[in-house]
Amino acid sequence: MKRFFNKMFVVGAVALLAACGGQQTQTADLPDYLNPEVEVEARIDDAMSRMTLDEKFAIIHAQSKFSSAGVPRLGIPELWTTDGPHGIRPEVLWDEWEQAGWTNDYCVAFPALTALAATWNTDMSALYGKSIGEEARYREKDVLLGPGVNIYRSPLNGRNFEYMGEDPFLASRMVVPYVQGVQSNGVAACVKHYALNNQESHRHTMDAVVDDRTLYEIYLPAFKAAVTEGGAWAIMGAYNFFRGEHACHSDLLLNQILKGEWGFDGVVISDWGGTHDTREAITNGLDLEFGTWTDGLTMGATNGYDAYHLANPYKELVKSGEFTTKELDEKVRRVLRLMYRTSMNTNKPFGSLVSDEHVAASRTIGEEGIVLLKNDNNVLPIDLGKTKTIAVIGENAIKAMTVGGGSSSLKVAKEVSPLEGLKNRVGDKAEVIYARGYVGDVSTSYNGVDSGQNLVDNRSEAELIAEAVEVARKADVVIVFGGLNKASHQDCEDSDRYGLELPYAQDRLIAAVAEATQNLIYVNISGNAVAMPWVNSVPAIVQGWFLGSEAGNALASVLMGDANPSGKLPFTFPVKLTDTGAHSMGQFGNDGEVVYGEGLLVGYRWNDAKDVAPLFAFGHGLSYTTFEYGEATIDKSSMNAKGSVTVTIPVTNTGNRTGKEVVQLYIADKEASVMRPEKELKGFAKVELEPGQTKEVSFVIDAEALSFFDDKKHEWVAEQGEFEALVGAASDDIKSSVTFTLK
């Protein structure tokens, strides 16, 4: 009720002015700060001239768990945030994390961002952003805390499922449409966690040791694209230190790079609990403070929010003369600008919640993100004409995955499990039988939301495997749904995985089932890579991700062949943990300084440099049809004074069904004066081809695609010399290449 009341302040102010003198008030009669026809910066100037010192301080820190104050006296409403990035978080109490008990705060869960990145399709990203933005808008949220674009450095990072993979170019291209889609609803996208939040262990105390080239070439590009191309209105600081400063108040990250080099005009919001020092928060670029550990009533304060660093402690420093209001006014200006873009935006749409369109969008994105990793003997798709019995094995076939995992945990209107989705699709055409196979995480609730399941099973490992083997022997096709879940030390905020292997004795289960059938399909439900020691014994392997509300229907559609898989991996699956740079030359998971010793060699860059074969490569993904690549050519007429060239390659569908292929462009610098990765992704295009159809795919390569960051000059440099354009279906599957010279 309080939120609704404050949201009506602007309307009330207009009505009050209209009532005076009995005349209808036109917009020209409004003060500038309330007049939507006045340019925003002028409205901000007018509002600031009317605000008291106390009112200015009130709007730069939280007043509740998820809101900051407006200026009631001036009819400026509150600002409300919500967790994302896969759905709109359920309502909690004003001062506490407990559920508020609403019955209308359900949502559609969209696929995790790893699944979105696996689509390699910017249209899917735009659909995702627009859809989740509509849900946020309908729920009266002004800021969506997402998307996340931290780079996938290690497969043990518990929060990788919330991010967009290991490659800065892929993440950059995918984040821009998401941000634009969200903000088309008058809801700010708050891109997180800026920057170098690449582990959850010791996330509040670890200090990332990263050189400038690695920082600019690997860990900053997606954030930069979100700001300079996507026009993001908000950025969330990270928990970790960088060069001795907390990321939420880092002069280098926030003042010099974000606001200086990139010209960011939005608001820097602290992560909840990410602010630690008043003076640094004042001077080092933080604008809006949330979640500091003095909030609520648990600390015994009448109003714990006044104890925030940007509240009374800051005010006292201004009153004492140690600080002027220069920094304060800059913060207030940015917060007001955010308000005019969101809570004060009179032109934003109404949004919608749990609509048929959003459910369909969730399923479409999920289907397109599913990756077919292996398909020996064409086990997939399942042919119901030849299949009478399908055995489904594994806890992940039935366990709800929208509940848990940290701040992205959701309260969904529905979640279709893989088992339910298969039964829906198969109907009476085949018998579907189920065996548990393993018992993992039997918890079904998180932060007051319960999936309503009862997963308790006290049978021994031997009993569970024996049942699974027996069921497998009776079936024509066997599907094991395994992988990770949203429990601590799996795919979950605030903890990292213990190792690359599957938990809960799944490896023994899969090996045993593989001996019982030749038609085994393994579906890996996770947001991370896992080891697969049994890979040669399993003919078909699918990466199924966390797919949200429509998970089961999306998976069934691909497994049964209704949808042709077209996803590609957004990160590398290593054979073993030491096949990754972070666990071979760098550090991961420790407290204090964490040295990024692998430097630029993240993901496939490491595999190339060290000649290490992956289990499944970055960019890998199969189809139910086949594609043939022709020879790549350079269009000599496209070369111009700025050095851009166009590379074209024909791609043909040589199979018997329509499919989509992701054509990938990598660039190799053959004459670099500095160390550069063997090749780097610099372009991709997803093309749909009917059987027998050929399309020419073209990429424009400009100086930016050829550049590296010169840390001595502190600028991007494209050197003269020979380059190679490599076009292929994956980072380890280059089909054709062509050289050219930058003069």
271 is catalytic: yes
- For 136, phi then psi, to 5°, come to -65, -40
Model confidence pLDDT, tens digit, residues 228-259: 999 999 999 999 999 999 999 999 999 999 99
Answer yes or no: do 328 and 404 share one domain: no
Q: Are residues 312 and 382 in the same domain?
A: no
CATH number for the domain spanning 696: value is 2.60.40.10
d(CA 628, CA 630): 7
Q: What's the pLDDT at 15?
A: 37
Clarify whether residues 558 and 461 are in a common domain. yes
- The alpha helices in 273-322, defined as continuous H runs, are 278-283, 312-319
pLDDT tens-digit map of 529-580: 999 999 999 999 999 999 999 999 999 999 999 999 999 999 999 999 999 9
Q: Do 313 and 380 belong to one domain?
A: no
Report the SS3 class of residue 66. coil
Q: From 536, 556, 571, give the residue that closes a domain.
A: 571
Burial 79-92, CB ≥16 within 10 A → b, else e: bbbbbbbbbbbbbb
DSSP 8-state symbol, 247? G
Alpha-carbon gap, residue 208 to 195, rounded angstroms? 10
Q: Give yes or no: residues 525 and 438 share one domain.
A: yes
83 falls within a domain: yes
The last residue of a domain, from among 550, 571, 592 = 571
In a domain, 237, yes or no: yes
Instruction: Calculate the average pLDDT of the chain.
Output: 94
Residue 410 CA to residue 88 CA, distance in Å, equals 7
**Is the residue at 280 inside a domain?**
yes
Q: How confident is the model at residue 743 (pLDDT cuts 50, 70, 90)?
A: confident
- The answer to whether position 21 is within a domain reads no
Instruction: Give the CA angle between residues 308, 313, 316 to the nearest 5°.
Output: 150
Residues 298 and 433 in one domain: no
Whether residue 35 lies inside any domain: the answer is no
In the predicted structure, residue 600 carries a pLDDT above the cut 90: yes
Helix (H, G, I), strand (E, B) or coil at 580: coil
Q: Tell me: do 308 and 405 sit in the same domain.
A: no
Instruction: Provide the pairing of β-strand 431-435 with 389-393.
Output: parallel
| Cα torsion through 601, 607, 612, 617, rounded to 10 | 150
Q: Specify whether 293 is located in the same domain as 374.
A: no
CB 505 within 8 A of CB 459: no
* 573: its two tokens: 């699956």
* Nearest CA among 415, 540, 396 for reference residue 481: 396
Give, for 687, the enclosing helix (H) or strand (E).
strand 680-689
How far is residue 351's CA from residue 361's CA, in Å, rounded to a whole number? 15
How far apart CA 117 and CA 174 sit, in angstroms, is 7
Pair 566, 638 in one domain: no
> Do residues 246 and 277 touch, judged by C-beta distance below 8 A?
yes
- Co-location of 384 and 332 in the same domain: no
User: Band of the pLDDT at 642, cuts 50, 70, 90?
Assistant: low
Q: What is the CATH number of the domain that holds 99?
A: 3.20.20.300
Report the C-alpha dihedral over residues 243, 247, 250, 255, rounded to 10 degrees. Answer: 130
Integer Cα distance of 146 and 271 in angstroms: 11
Same domain (yes/no): 448, 511: yes
* In 373-495, alpha helices (H): 418-426, 461-474
CATH of residue 456: 3.40.50.1700
Region 198-224: mean pLDDT is 98
Find the helix packing angle between 356-369 and 551-559, rounded to 10°: 50
- Domain with 86, as residue range(s), is 77-341
Is 348 a member of any domain?
Answer: no
Q: Is residue 1 part of a domain?
A: no
What's residue 384's pLDDT?
96
Res 16 pLDDT > 50: no
191 in any annotated domain: yes
| From 83, 105, 271, 287, active-site residue | 271
Mean pLDDT of 351-379: 98
Identity (one letter) of the amino acid at 371? V
Name the pLDDT band for 96 (thresholds 50, 70, 90): confident
| Domain count within the chain | 3
Mean pLDDT on 168-191: 98
Helix (H, G, I), strand (E, B), or coil: what is residue 39?
coil
Nearest to 530 by CA among 598, 538, 415: 538
**487-539 residue pLDDT tens:** 999 999 999 999 999 999 999 999 999 999 999 999 999 999 999 999 999 99
Phi (first) and psi of residue 194, to 5 degrees: -85, 110
Residues 132 and 209 grouped into a single domain:
yes
Question: Once rounded to an integer, what is the mean pLDDT over residues 215-223?
Answer: 98
Cα-to-chain-centroid distance, residue 252: 24
The answer on pLDDT for 5 being more than 50 is no
Q: What's the average model confidence in pLDDT over 150-159?
A: 98
Helix boundaries (H) for 389-524: 418-426, 461-474, 506-516
